[in-house]
Structure 1
């Protein structure tokens, strides 16, 4: 009887933590008209015999490379990425700007996109389902989920530094916005070496508390911290009032709040510790 109860509680907890279509992200409006939805994509073909895998951007109707001797070496026109997932069975195609990807894996990753407003169209077996416009920023990665019955959701936007991926698993890109990290692989948390580099940079650029807090706040827009990292950041400040303000600010950015007691030792005065404890207890 006890084992059955434990199993039921486990399944109940799993359902609470499970992802749900439309649970996270900003719904992007479908700009395709009713007459366009379900129409065949005349510009592209999803059939295998006509599928283009050559990598060339400019082709004529016969699929051959057009003559073009105007070479462009190391052209700089911005760098952005769009990662789009379709967690449903089927053969889908996604077109973003001049890039087109078809597969049945449900994962579509676009690189080397220019910044600005870029049209995106989604097809199933060659028939248009959805069309909208993405506002892509330079050196950023947009992460989206698409559901045929709900629409396209913008989950989050992340900075891309040096065109690096910045994650351990492809699935983490889409799963982390739902909070499904299992408490093991924290999203957007710097490793020890990167965090030390961050501290060194802050100390070189910001000597006073206000500048340090500004630097940390800017980084915190796109990153999460562990309790130990927050403790180090708070302890680096000179005055307790600033330490308290920073500790309160970073609590929402902490990935292991159960260990936030580590931050208490960063204060010089007991009154500051008590105030932080009271602040957290009311959240």
Structure 2
């Protein structure tokens, strides 16, 4: 277990990674290698909540195959990720599968969402209110998000899911990572794209909007959404 600074106890989080098919992998967080021997499952406790850069490597089977991602760890929660290698031209996919309270279910008071240091892509800000990124009014997160997510997952059809998602997200703000989780509940990429376009103005951390591209089944759908966002930015 990697020991972080005392900040971990003020805004504590945990994160775990597991390989879907059992392949061993290496994990680096914020440039520091966490497990020095490849393993198919790894858990990290007492990490400061907030944004972290993660790097997943499959060193044995796939040589230099690497996936890099920007993760947001919510204070008081453990976030579980599953990694897998997909496609004829292998690539690593990282999916958030679960998030639940740690420390006996006691969740610390919310804290301001930190500003990630890396610049964001030049996405449109249709309501001309960039300060809203930090304010995050009516944030859909924690237990409230999980209730919504479970209700959404119980809907059998994409149209029903889309209607519910628009109703809830339209009255809230949401983290980009959570929007990606919601999009992954849809079977068809066109519905995922519809929701992403609708929800953009309500994404709390818009600089991380790019993470939703990983929700698509086909890379062409992700590229189409990226082109759409770039056109709106002009």
Normalising by structure 1, we get a TM-score of 0.35
- Which of the two has greater strand per residue? 2
Between Structure 1 and Structure 2, whose CA radius of gyration is higher? Answer: 1
